[in-house]
Chains A and B, each alone.
Chain A
Amino acid sequence: MLRIWTQGNRTGWLVLAVLFLLILLPLIAVVIQVLLPGVFFGHFELGNLSLLLDVFRRPLWYVSLKNSVILGIGTTLLGTILGTAIAMARSNWAFPGAKLLDFAVWILIITPSFILAQGWVMFASADGLAAQWLGWHSLHSFIFQPVGLIVVMTLSKFPLAYLTVYSALEWKVDRLSEAARLSGGSSWTVWRTIQAPLLMPAICSGAMLVFMDTVGDFGLPASIATIFRFPTLPYSIYSALYTSPIRFDMAGALSFYLVLLIALAMSVQLYAMRKSRYDFLSSRATRSEPKKPRKGGIYLVIGNIVFLAVVIGIPFGSNLLMSISGGSSAGKGRELTFEHYKALFAGNNDMLLEGLTHSLEIAAVAAVIGLFVGFLVAYVLTYSQFKLRKTIDVISLVSLAVPGIVLGIGYIFIWNQAWLEKIGLLLYGTPWILILASVAGVIPVITRVVVGAMAKVPRQLLAAAQMQGASFSQRVVSILMPLIKGAMLYAGLAAFGASVFDLAISSILYPPNFMTLPVVINKAFEDLQFGYAAAATLTGGGLVILIIAVMELLIKPSRKRVKS
């Protein structure tokens, strides 16, 4: 036991150092702009701290804070309930089309929120597809108000809760439920008093992810802003960073409040989960196998199809229509054409191909490094007695809620200091800066998914193996990995998919002559080439989905053999 602990300590410090460098340092670099505005340019003068109070004085900032809180809480509640319910249904019952649900969830996770939001805008705007084709004129007034935005956000962010809960349901200990049933508990009682409480860590992690991703989301408020003014903290941070005169100190002040929101949410989570232990998985655990429902299977199928038609059909259908409609106006369907797709690969225009290749490379490397770091983080969080575990936990989540542009600016401050050139670490201006920033961006998702899976593998399993003389690597390879393999795969693929489209990071950090896919897409959006942008998005997205599907297929056969 002692050896596990000391090892945990060393790994703990290492993990802490890596996370500090990747996530916390850039964030501090931005927040410190409030205190010392010129610190990275060689002059030390005290900033104006009253900026921090301006959030209650400036109307725009105050509204932004209020909106972020409302959107965050609403989406977290709805998204967690929705995600948990769907995960439980999916894990309990087998029904035709269930695979489609898994697929849809992945698509939602890797799609940048601005594309989803854009799709919803095209669908629900006053002259959108819903009004034109279906005659739903009242949809416009429902969607473009706070409750409507919470609904749209929920439908985009629930996959985080779904995935966390679903991967926690991969293994179960039927003995507990069976004992309860033998003692006379109804199935509802069993769910309420045994299954649901055991799922609490996964549900809480899921809720946390949804909350952070929501308060840190920039795409939705930005896309919606064309119709309905709903500024949030990330939106105002963006304005401070991307509007002349550039005000890093203002962005720092607003980022401070974003960090405060996360800290509050985490305190709530920690308070709710104090004193609980959840490593219930023992050697008696079995892999859960969904069963065919005795009756009502058809309702599951129909429900699933309707649900998918809403969460996937609406945003992507709108984008698809836009990508094949001629003329400059979106989604009007004046004539259908493939000209935008032809334009993607036409003649000497190799910008898209180049951007796509760069983005895939960056994302692949970032996913592998991220998985490695994320695994170590999760290991320390789950099995070590490292005293700063809580700190690691907090830092590993921060980058989810901090908008990419804030991290991006922080990366410039940190990695563009002249003295780094002497030791060959002037990473700004090279593709490595994009990889590092992407790793920072994917760590929260990877860590949460892996922690959710590890929480169920008791430390005793590893300790027993160690008593028999198994080394650390043997323990990881022969015990831990097989049990959490599914989660690791999910984590890696999600990280890969999300990195490909990370616009915020690549638009501020991309090196000269190193176009990336999101930059190409964004340029098309800004040049009014909506059709081209939608076509490029769908082509890039399709390729990513293909890669993910192939990876999943490659892994599947080995799973079956585990069972036999």
Chain B
Amino acid sequence: MAKGYRMKGFMLASVLMATAALSACGNNGNNEANTAATNSTNAAATTEASTEPTTEAAAESPAADASKDEPLVVYLNDFDDIIKPMFEEKTGYKLEIVSGNGAEIASRIEAEKGNPHWDVVWMDSMPTIDQMGKNGQLLDSWQPSNLDGLTDFAKGLVPANNTYFPTGEHAASVIVYNTKAFDANSAPKTWDDLIDAKFKGAIGMADPAVAAPAYPFVAWFFQSEGMDQGKSYFDSLLKNGVHVYPKNPNVAKALTDGEIKAAALQESNAYTLKNAGEPVDIIWPAEGAPASVRVAAIQKESKHQEAAKAFVEFLLDPATQQALIDKGDESYFEPSVKGVNAKADRAADAKLVVAEAGWAGEHEGEIKQWFADKAVK
């Protein structure tokens, strides 16, 4: 009987590894067998696990030269598939990418602060990266060769200590309207139009407390008009029945579903809708569309500084930016270097404005909390 049961015990082996481990470990021990089995599992875990960190440890030990075999680790949001092969082919360095949305990446960087795993961060969140620079987390005072090639707008964004460099700017929000509801005349054309009573309940926007690109959008109002004016603008907007959605894709969906008739929508979401044949049109407000700036920065303690610098040089190369615009997924942006042509269907009169990074970084918590608490009231 006992034998029969044991046979079945083995039949379950894959699920009941416990059984197998215990029966294999001798008969006389009580706890010994038990402990040994667990220990062997732990030991297995340890040995197997240790093989990987060892290779990594070797790769990242300061003594080792940054040879071309060791991968450069880049943390980025909105991953463009073409970056990796292009960079590897052009420079010979190996590239490893961790992508996620801006908040995931920022959270990961923050949690790794004691022992960073990244060499370069390349993200839309300029205020966050500006704060990282002020906290001494970024390599400073290094000058990429194409710094002079930056557009005037981009030059104004580089901090005095050169901790990060803009690689492109896009509108955190433009005005998008459903052409079934409005025509070019009746649609809202300026940011102030959105608080006009005739658009009551018809407007949507992404939640600045949740969506990453919505913060640079609202930050510009708060900085250029002052905190109180900013609050009063968004108070009026909320009173005018604005629909607040967690993220930009939700805003886009509400717009095509007819739940809202116009929206403040992030640029690439807006053009994606239009290119998909949805009945929408895009308006660039004359006073300017608040910009989200994508910047690249090198980790201060990075052990692959040569490769990291090569990556930043690569991003500031006009050929790279042109390739991103022509072939990339996130192709709607204003290039940060001269000699690159933006997407042909991107409005020629697209005017970008931007909140000062230091100010936006310092007030980020306060402004987002204001929105979060406002929303539950």
Whether the pair A471, B33 counts as a contact (CB closer than 8 A) is: yes
- CB pair B31–A416 under 8 Å, yes or no, is no
| A481 and B376 contacting across the interface, CB-CB below 8 Å | no
Distance between B134 CB and nearest chain A CB, rounded to angstroms: 12
- Which residues of A have CB within 8 Å of B361? 245
Whether A526 is near chain B, meaning CB under 8 Å from some CB there, is yes
Identify which of A248, A328, A375 contacts B276 (C-beta below 8 A).
A328
Main secondary structure of the interface of A (DSSP, over half): helix
- Assess whether A473 is in contact with B114, with CB atoms less than 8 Å apart: no
Given contacts A243-B368, A425-B49, A432-B45, contact A127 B375 (CB under 8 A): no
Q: How many residues of A contact B (CB 8 A)?
A: 88
B5 touches A409 (CB 8 A): no
> Is the Cβ of A430 less than 8 Å from the Cβ of B19?
no
Contact stretch, chosen from B162-170, B177-185, B245-253, B338-346? B245-253
Q: Which of B21-29, B232-240, B309-317 contacts A (4 or more CB under 8 A)?
A: B21-29
Task: From the candidates A3, A368, A526, name the one contacting B249 in the complex (CB within 8 A).
Answer: A526
Contacts of B102 in A (CB 8 A): 244
A492 CA / B108 CA spacing, docked (Å): 31
The answer to whether the Cβ of A358 comes within 8 Å of any Cβ in the partner chain is: no
Asked if A329 is at the interface (CB within 8 A of a chain B CB), the reply is yes
CB contacts under 8 Å to B, within A40-57, are 40-42
Query: Which B residues between 284 and 337 are near A, CB-CB below 8 angstroms?
Result: 329
CB distance from B93 to the nearest CB of A (A): 14
Q: Mark A511-530, 1 if CB is under 8 A from B, else 0.
A: 01100000100010111100
Contact with B along A366-382 (1 / 0, CB 8 A): 01110110011000000
Q: B residues within 8 A CB of A526?
A: 101, 247, 249
Cβ of A145 under 8 Å from chain B: no
CB-based contact A376/B38 at 8 Å = yes
Check A513–B97 contact: CB distance below 8 A.
yes
**In the complex, A100 has a CB within 8 A of chain B:** no
- B246, A330: Cβ atoms under 8 Å? no
Give bound CA distance, A512 to B95, whole Å. Answer: 10
Contact with B along A462-492 (1 / 0, CB 8 A): 0000000001111011100110010011001
Q: Is the CB of A226 within 8 A of B53?
A: no
Q: How far is the CA of A525 from the CA of B250 in the complex (A)?
A: 11
**B145 interface residue, CB < 8 Å from A?**
no
Cβ-neighbour of B257 out of A329, A375, A472 (below 8 A): A329
**Per-position binary interface string of chain B over residues 200-216, scored 1 when its CB falls under 8 Å from any chain A CB and 0 otherwise:** 00000000011010010
By the criterion CB–CB under 8 Å, are B73 and A512 in contact?
yes
Docked Cα-Cα span, A491 to B54, in Å, equals: 35
Known interface pairs A329-B257, A426-B53. Does A244 touch B2 (Cβ–Cβ under 8 Å)? no
Q: Is B117 an interface residue (CB 8 A)?
A: yes
Closest Cβ neighbor of A526 among chain B residues: B101
Q: Give A242-284 as 1s and 0s: 1 = Cβ < 8 Å from B's Cβ atoms.
A: 1111111000000000000000000000000000000000000
Is A58 at the interface (CB under 8 A from chain B)? yes
B16 & A481 in contact (Cβ 8 Å cutoff): yes
Chain A min CB distance to B29 (Å): 7
Tell me how many residue pairs across A and B have CB atoms closer than 8 Å: 247
Given A126, A246, A328, which contacts B107 in the complex, CB threshold below 8 Å? Answer: A246
Contacts of B57 in A (CB 8 A): 421, 424, 426
Chain B interface mostly: helix
Check: B63 CB closer than 8 A to any chain A CB. no
Nearest CB in chain A: distance from B178 CB, A: 13
Known: A242-B107, A329-B253, A508-B104. A412 touches B112 (CB 8 A): yes
Q: In the complex, what residue of chain A is closest to B55 when comparing beta carbons?
A: A430
**Chain A residues with CB under 8 A of B23:** 473-474, 477
Instruction: Kindly identify which residue among A231, A412, A482, A525 contacts B376, using a CB–CB cutoff of 8 Å.
Output: A231
Contact: A417 with B115, CB < 8 Å? yes
Query: Does chain A have a CB within 8 A of B65?
Result: no
- Asked if A481 and B5 make an inter-chain contact with CB atoms under 8 angstroms apart, the answer reads yes
Report B40 CB to chain A, min CB distance, Å: 11
- Which stretch of A4-12, A89-97, A160-168 is in the interface? A4-12
Q: Please determine whether B49 and A244 come into contact, CB atoms closer than 8 angstroms.
A: no
Asked if residues A473 and B22 are in contact (CB atoms below 8 Å), the reply is yes
Residues of A within 8 A of B108 (CB): 412, 508
Binds A, one of B125-133, B153-161, B349-357: B125-133
Does A229 have its Cβ within 8 Å of any Cβ on chain B?
yes
Tell me, yes or no, whether B98 is within 8 Å of chain A by CB: yes
Interface string of A528-564 (1 = CB under 8 A from B): 1000000000000000000000010011001001100
- Given A471-B27, A478-B1, list of 19 further CB < 8 A pairs? A14-B38, A59-B376, A245-B364, A248-B111, A372-B41, A421-B57, A421-B115, A424-B46, A424-B50, A430-B52, A472-B22, A472-B33, A481-B9, A507-B100, A508-B104, A519-B100, A528-B272, A558-B8, A562-B8
What are 12 of the A-B contact pairs (CB < 8 Å)?
Answer: A6-B31, A41-B113, A58-B373, A246-B107, A246-B111, A328-B273, A409-B111, A416-B111, A417-B115, A421-B115, A430-B52, A471-B27
Q: Could you list which residues of chain B lie within 8 angstroms of chain A, going by C-beta atoms?
A: 1-2, 4-6, 8-9, 11-12, 14-19, 21-23, 25-31, 33-35, 37-38, 41, 45-46, 48-50, 52-54, 56-57, 71, 73, 79, 96-104, 106-108, 110-115, 117, 125, 127-128, 131, 209-210, 212, 215, 245-247, 249-250, 252-253, 256-259, 269, 272-273, 276, 278, 329, 361, 364-365, 368-369, 372-373, 375-377
Shortest 9 CB-CB distances between A and B: which pairs?
A424-B50, A512-B96, A242-B103, A412-B111, A473-B22, A492-B15, A246-B110, A432-B49, A7-B31
